Amino acid sequence: MNPRFKMQLIRFAVVRRRKRLAEWFRKSALPSISDRSRRFGVLVAVLLICLASAAPASPAELVVSAAASLSNAFKEIGAEFERARSGTNVIFNFAASDILVKQIVEGAPVDLFASADQESMDKAAKENAIDQATRRNFVANRLVFAVPRDSRLSFASLADLRRKELKRIAVGQPATVPAGRYAKAALDQARLWDVLRDKFIYTQNVRQSLDYLARGEVDGGFVYATDAAIVKDKVKIAFDVSTPQPVLYPIAVTKQSKDAKLANEFLQLLGSEVGRRILQKYGFGNP
Amino acid sequence: MSDALVPLLLTLKVAVTATLIVVFFGVGWAYVFSRCRFWGSHLLDAVFTLPMVMPPTVLGYYLLVVFGRRGWIGDWLEQTLGIRLIFTWQGAVVASATVAFPLVFKAARAALEGVDHHLESAARVLGGSELAVFFRVTLPLAWRGILAGTMLAFARAMGEFGATLMIAGSIPGRTQTISIAIYEAVQAGQDGMANFLVLLTSAVCISVLVASGRLLQRSF
């Protein structure tokens, strides 16, 4: 066969195939995709319905809003609670105490509220959000000034914080974070709050201060002794801060709790030997 | 009142700086992408678009890890240039710019790819240098799309919250942008302050949108 003619034939075939492909795309691509996606949508819907109906009939649920510093200890106590009362589900919500108060006042479905200072619990009480009869202080903690593990700076007292090498201090936003309020009260007493103002990095909760310390982004910060103990490999305590008010954590059942009995059982577990042991393990003291 | 002006001015400073940076790099990369296909261009395109689809907190975490004191770039910046980005307004600019980048990049790329190549070729035939062709033919034909992307980027930079909070923190007067100030005001129960800031932000955003709409209309 003439090679030139052969080339012509091949080219012809290629062009025809291209045309057919284009035609096929134009005709079939759109409807076939939408068909497929519709079928896929139906499949997903069926699956979702199956999943939803397969879930067990709603188990007893306890929602606990607790100060950020309690997270590790409470998670363990929650697991213990779920183990002791099979079928119950404990849901935790950790944040700065005042943010939790705000959520509860705005109607968040919370059964138990544990905060890190009296002021936030007083706020909740003033808004008539908690059952005053159930309110009690359940643990004590200490406020400390901590520095990153590899820090070469050493401090012995609040007055040392004025030193120039110390540039950034993490402190909880006093308006919403109890750890920040304790720190502010101590610094106010020492007449240092306004002096140090330019060094402060305000955080959303005490665990954010801890995270900045662990990353070495700040030179020092105010956290609880229990927080510093969690990341011992990255953060060390420089000195204990003596606060005008002792660091006591109150807890109370909320007014809107749908299952106050279950909430009270959780309170009992906190006071029991098992509960105390877990709290002590994380460094919390008796009130 | 002055309490509200400080975060507003800071936000404008951060958003304007971030937008300028983003326009420079976004249009530059868009030009590269619209003109050449290179190995890994699809992957790079995905990386550039990532900030648009990723949660701002994930982005903030990435930035914290990269630009932090112990991060690769953060460490280098501090050792060689003595710059620390974390907890500074420049850090907020980095966060805003990262988040806003895809908006300019995508819009500019679409606009540049839409420019008729024959017109550029004609300009080249008439003796224009590559630079002249870009500034006198390509850009004038694509600027509408680029401007639209820029406006979106500016709005996005103004509203940036998650990543900024993570790497710049919330220091009143220094890194507390308007969206963070609103968050703090709401958390602290200062509803009056929050309302005022929200109205202020809305007014500024509407003004920007109206102004850009007019600007776009007049040119056509």
Q: Verify whether the Cβ–Cβ distance A215 to B184 is below 8 Å.
A: no
Kindly tell me if the per-residue pLDDT of A122 is higher than 70. Answer: yes
> Could you read off the pLDDT of A126-165 as tens digits, one per residue?
999 999 999 999 999 999 999 999 998 889 999 999 999 9
> Could you read off the pLDDT of A187-246 as tens digits, one per residue?
999 999 999 999 999 999 999 999 999 999 999 999 999 999 999 999 999 999 999 999
Kindly tell me if the per-residue pLDDT of A81 is higher than 60. Answer: yes
Q: Verify whether the Cβ–Cβ distance B184 to A201 is below 8 Å.
A: no
A127 CB-side CA count, 13 A: 18
Q: Verify whether the Cβ–Cβ distance A201 to B68 is below 8 Å.
A: no
B11 token code pair: 């936000």
Q: Verify whether the Cβ–Cβ distance A217 to B86 is below 8 Å.
A: yes
Which residues does chain A have within 8 Å of residue B168's beta carbon, measured at their own beta carbons?
none
Q: Which DSSP helix (H) or strand (E) runs through A247? A: strand A247-253
Q: What does the domain layout of chain A look like in residue ranges? A: 9-54, 60-140+248-281, 142-241
Question: To probe the interface with A, which of B66, B87, B161, B182 has the most A CB atoms within 10 Å?
Answer: B87
Indicate the SS3 state at residue A235: strand
Give the chain B residue nearest A217 (alpha carbons): B69
Question: What is the value of ipTM here, to two decimals?
Answer: 0.74
Nearest CA to CA, how far is B176 from chain A (Å)? 10
Which residues does chain A have within 8 Å of residue B70's beta carbon, measured at their own beta carbons?
215-216
Q: How confident is the model at residue A120 (pLDDT cuts 50, 70, 90)?
A: very high
In chain B, the largest separation of any two C-alpha atoms, in whole Å, equals: 67
Strands A235-241 and A112-114: unpaired
> Could you read off the pLDDT of A170-184 as tens digits, one per residue?
999 999 999 999 999
Q: What is the predicted pLDDT for the residue at B41?
A: 87
Q: Which phi and psi (to 5°) does residue A231 adopt?
A: -115, 55
Neighbours of B142 (CB within 10 A): 24
Which residues does chain B have within 8 Å of residue A201's beta carbon, measured at their own beta carbons?
87, 169, 171
> Could you read off the pLDDT of A100-115 as tens digits, one per residue?
999 999 889 999 999 9
In three-state form (DSSP H/G/I as H, E/B as E, the rest C), the secondary structure along A142-176 is CEEEEEECCCCCCCCCHHHHHCCCCCCEEEECCCC
Q: Please provide the DSSP assignment of B201-218 as one string.
A: HHHHHHHHHHHHHHHHHH
Classify burial at A33, counting beta carbons within 10 Å of its beta carbon; exposed 0-12, middle 13-18, buried 19 or more.
Answer: exposed
Which residues does chain A have within 8 Å of residue B77's beta carbon, measured at their own beta carbons?
none
Q: For chain B, what is the domain count?
A: 1
Q: Do domains A60-140+248-281 and A142-241 have the same CATH topology?
A: yes
Q: What is the predicted pLDDT for the residue at A5?
A: 66
Cα–Cα distance list, B200 to A172, B18, B74, B159 (Å) = 27, 21, 35, 13
> Could you read off the pLDDT of A16-30 as tens digits, one per residue?
666 666 666 565 544
- As beta bridge partners, residue A167 has none
Q: Are B89 and B14 in contact (CB under 8 A)?
A: yes
* A113 DSSP assignment: E
Residue with tokens 């109205």: B199
Against a cut of 0.90, is the pTM above it? no
Q: Which residues of B touch A (CB under 8 A)?
A: 64, 68-70, 86-87, 165, 169-172, 184, 187-189
Nearest CA to CA, how far is B122 from chain A (Å)? 31
pLDDT in tens, chain B (220 residues): 567 788 999 999 999 999 999 999 999 999 999 888 888 888 999 999 999 899 989 999 999 889 888 888 888 888 888 888 888 999 999 999 999 999 999 999 999 999 998 999 999 999 889 889 989 999 999 988 898 899 889 989 998 999 998 888 888 888 899 999 999 888 888 889 999 999 988 888 888 888 777 777 765 4
Class of CATH domain A60-140+248-281: alpha beta
Q: Verify whether the Cβ–Cβ distance A201 to B69 is below 8 Å.
A: no
Cα–Cα distance list, B79 to A140, B74, B84 (Å) = 42, 9, 10
Give the chain A residue nearest B68 (alpha carbons): A217
Q: Which of A100, A115, A114 is nearest to A178 (CA)?
A: A115
Residue with tokens 């492909």: A21
Q: How confident is the model at residue A1 (pLDDT cuts 50, 70, 90)?
A: low
CATH number of the domain residue B116 falls in: 1.10.3720.10
Q: Hey, is the C-beta of A176 within 8 angstroms of any chain B C-beta? A: yes
Q: What is the mean pLDDT of chain A?
A: 87
Amino acid (1-letter code) at residue A21: L
Nearest CA to CA, how far is A95 from chain B (Å)? 11
Alpha-helical (H) ranges within chain A are 3-24, 30-54, 71-84, 97-105, 118-126, 178-189, 193-196, 206-214, 225-230, 260-271, 273-281
Nearest CA to CA, how far is B182 from chain A (Å)? 14
Classify burial at B190, counting beta carbons within 10 Å of its beta carbon; exposed 0-12, middle 13-18, buried 19 or more.
Answer: middle
Q: What is the predicted pLDDT for the residue at A133?
A: 94
Q: Verify whether the Cβ–Cβ distance B187 to A176 is below 8 Å.
A: yes
Neighbours of A210 (CB within 10 A): 25
CATH number of A142-241: 3.40.190.10
Domain that holds residue B56: 2-218
